[in-house]
Structure 1
Amino acid sequence: MPTQEMRGAAVLAGLGAWLPPHVVDNHELSQRLDTSDEWIRTRTGIGQRHIVTPGMSTVDLATEAGALALRSAGSDQVDALVLATATPDQVCPASAPQVASRLGLTGIAAFDVNAVCAGFVYALATASGLIAAGAASRVLVVGADTFSTLVEPNDRGTVPIFGDGGGAVVLRAGTPGELGALGPFDLHSDGELADLLVVPAGGSKMRRSDDPTDYFLAMQGTAVFRHASARMAESSREVLRAAGWAVDEVDSFVGHQANVRILNAVAKHLGVPKEDVVVNIERTGNTSAASIPLALTDACVDGTLKPGDKVLISAFGAGLTWGSTALRWPELADVESPHREQRIVQAAAL
């Protein structure tokens, strides 16, 4: 357990991301849906997405991403694992203990956090709290989702948007002034607008339904766009104010990769130049809780994020939930691109 002097901040010490090998591009979708590559790109900025194949699950993606983050951190042990997901392998039990077991981390605290697309920011805040409280000195935070399993296969409004993936970071106890220290955090929700993004059936309120579409995601796209743009901008301003940063000090804005138009709208609200907005949605689609760590990984690998850079992070998801945080980018080792030939970890320990 950490000593009192170690509890000041959670510091980013490792980073990893993984995408399932099967890629579905816009041309393939246009063969079976009333859509086109131009229609999808114009409205979302997405060109392709990675999709799980039969037998592959959220736990698989989370395990792969977690293993890469641990390797990047040069560590094979943590005190806790927080998994951000809205698509667990089962309704019960939580998926985090299974991920921990596969990584050889049996016995540690492991639990799920569900704030949907804002889940990774919520999980970062949760893990930071564990470290600040002295309950853990090192935490593996994973965001993984298989949202392709929640979209109605013939719905051109949702199928092109969502992809599957996993991303993870290792946080260690450290001091607020060092590179990689996370915070401040700004978190919010509005349950009165829960119906804007909802899967109606399958939970305790509606366990079963005779309408098959009740088991798929229903989304009011126009309203979601409006709320996402405004809420992410408001939250980002709060974090900048708390951090004492001016907007023109931000080197990179890493927003949830839901839609390139939302990212551009948030940047415009904030006054962040387009060239400082990290965008990888063209190759991944909306990967929900995996979105932020996937974007961070891509930006780290391609050199966009450099040690000392001031990085602003913000996300918005169903619930409604949204939140933001900030950090100065650290020096990280062994960070691999998620766009590579891949394998699946099946062993109980690495």
Structure 2
Amino acid sequence: MGVSIVSTGSYVPDRVLKNTDLEKMVETSDEWITTRTGIKERRISEGETTSDMATEAVLRALNGKSSPEDVELIVVATATPDAFFPSTACKVQSKIENKGAVVFDISAACSGFIYALYVADSIMRSKNVKKAVVVGAERFSKIVNWKDRTTCILFGDGAGAVLLEHSDNEGVLGFDIGADGSYGELLAVPSVGSNEEYPFYVRMKGNEVFKIAVRTMVDSIGRVLEKTGLKADDISLLIPHQANIRIINAVAERVGIPKEKVFVNLDRYGNTSAASIPIALDEAVREGKVKSGDLVLMTAFGGGFTWGSCIVRL
């Protein structure tokens, strides 16, 4: 008995913040942002909490496939929870009117969705959980310093979700995940107890992060291909974490996956951290970029540093 992704869903706020809008806020330009990141616009929450966006993504993933009360496990990946506690997963559970499921959050920054998928898959196999929901949801607009032009141009808000079920065919084929905490200060958000004068804002040393991200994602992809006995040519679609177009292009080139097999929506949403892969997966499904039986490779790199790659057959 295997585990498969049976449906997807996503949600992004209505408000669009374009590069031309940022030109009025900080010293930057549309050309500068586009050339260096590939981002043209991003979505910004106006009153919607992380759990609000996550709930909408979950309901869209469940639509026609399962009732909320049948879900036995909810795992939410987020670095921007509504509160320290209760967990965002608890709030989602309440909003979809589910009772009795095992629910919890995972914090692995931009790698969070892969981490959450790994944990949910493991629990389903070991505890005979029949239905689970995995969510990536972020409200990074609330932890961005809008006076810092090096970070405020990058991030956006949104949520994506998948419904997992036991299946006769193996859908989730393999993972590679890991972390190296020695690089933690290169990408971080200080918080309570940090002794920082101005906590709660994203801090990033972009050049250092770029170099390590490319190398780490390429190595992770190599390991998950080896574990599953697959080659780059077998992959129908690569869905990388949507952080920077230069990172995406460098990773794809080094692992030998052509651009036409790489899904990119970074230009419209920016970096939505743990939400970026499930949002992209849902869009790829809805746009017909992948079909039943296709092999999808997902890979991410995030603060921690954390990383993760996963291959699924849809």
What TM-score comes out, normalization by structure 2 length? Answer: 0.97
Structure 1 partner of 2:86: 93
Letter in 2 for 1:282: D
Unaligned runs of 5+ in 1: 1-7, 330-350
Letter in 2 for 1:61: M
SS of corresponding position for 2:152: coil
Structure 2 partner of 1:245: 230
- The whole-number CA distance in structure 2 between the counterparts of 1:9 and 1:306 is 19
Identity across aligned pairs (percent)?
A: 43
The structure whose residues are more often strand, as a share, is 2
Contact 1:14–1:72 (Cα < 8 Å) also in 2: no
Letter in 1 for 2:189: V
Instruction: Give per-residue Cα distances to partners, 1:67-105, cap 9 Å, x unaligned.
Output: 111115243320010000000101122111110010011
- The whole-number CA distance in structure 1 between the counterparts of 2:231 and 2:55 is 38
Measured after TM superposition, the shift of residue 166 of structure 1 is: 0.3
Measured after TM superposition, the shift of residue 38 of structure 1 is: 0.8
Measured after TM superposition, the shift of residue 262 of structure 1 is: 0.6
Structure 1 partner of 2:182: 192
Contact 2:238–2:262 (Cα < 8 Å) also in 1: yes
Letter in 2 for 1:145: E
Distance change >3 Å, CA 24–CA 72, structure 1 → 2: farther
Letter in 1 for 2:226: R
Contact 1:83–1:113 (Cα < 8 Å) also in 2: yes
- The whole-number CA distance in structure 1 between the counterparts of 2:173 and 2:304 is 23
SS of corresponding position for 2:183: helix
Measured after TM superposition, the shift of residue 56 of structure 1 is: 1.9
- The whole-number CA distance in structure 1 between the counterparts of 2:236 and 2:112 is 24
- The whole-number CA distance in structure 2 between the counterparts of 1:278 and 1:215 is 31
Measured after TM superposition, the shift of residue 270 of structure 1 is: 0.2
Q: Report whether the alignment pairs 1:83 with 2:76.
A: yes
SS of corresponding position for 1:101: helix
- The whole-number CA distance in structure 2 between the counterparts of 1:169 and 1:225 is 28
- The whole-number CA distance in structure 2 between the counterparts of 1:9 and 1:228 is 31
Equivalences for residues 107-122 of structure 1 within 5 A: 107-122=100-115
Measured after TM superposition, the shift of residue 135 of structure 1 is: 4.5
- The whole-number CA distance in structure 2 between the counterparts of 1:10 and 1:319 is 28
Structure 1 partner of 2:62: 70
Contact 1:124–1:141 (Cα < 8 Å) also in 2: yes
Structure 2 partner of 1:256: 241
Instruction: Give per-residue Cα distances to partners, 1:323-345, cap 9 Å, x unaligned.
Output: 1010122xxxxxxxxxxxxxxxx
Structure 2 partner of 1:152: 145
Measured after TM superposition, the shift of residue 249 of structure 1 is: 1.4
Contact 2:176–2:308 (Cα < 8 Å) also in 1: yes
Q: Report whether the alignment pairs 1:27 with 2:10.
A: no
Letter in 2 for 1:251: S
Letter in 2 for 1:188: G
Contact 2:25–2:146 (Cα < 8 Å) also in 1: no
SS of corresponding position for 1:232: helix
Contact 1:15–1:72 (Cα < 8 Å) also in 2: no
Contact 1:16–1:72 (Cα < 8 Å) also in 2: no
Structure 1 partner of 2:10: 17
Measured after TM superposition, the shift of residue 174 of structure 1 is: 2.0
Measured after TM superposition, the shift of residue 201 of structure 1 is: 2.9
- The whole-number CA distance in structure 2 between the counterparts of 1:183 and 1:190 is 24
Equivalences for residues 1-350 of structure 1 within 5 A: 8-53=1-46, 55-71=47-63, 73-76=65-68, 77-175=70-168, 177-178=169-170, 181-202=171-192, 204-206=193-195, 209=196, 211-212=197-198, 214-329=199-314
Instruction: Give per-residue Cα distances to partners, 1:7-39, cap 9 Å, x unaligned.
Output: x42210110000011110111111121111111
Instruction: Give per-residue Cα distances to partners, 1:273-320, cap 9 Å, x unaligned.
Output: 111111001111000110001111111111111222211110110011
Aligned-pair Cα RMSD in Å: 1.2
Contact 1:9–1:128 (Cα < 8 Å) also in 2: no
SS of corresponding position for 1:136: coil
Contact 2:173–2:311 (Cα < 8 Å) also in 1: yes
SS of corresponding position for 2:285: helix
What TM-score comes out, normalization by structure 1 length? Answer: 0.87
Shifted more, 114-123 versus 98-107: the winner is 98-107
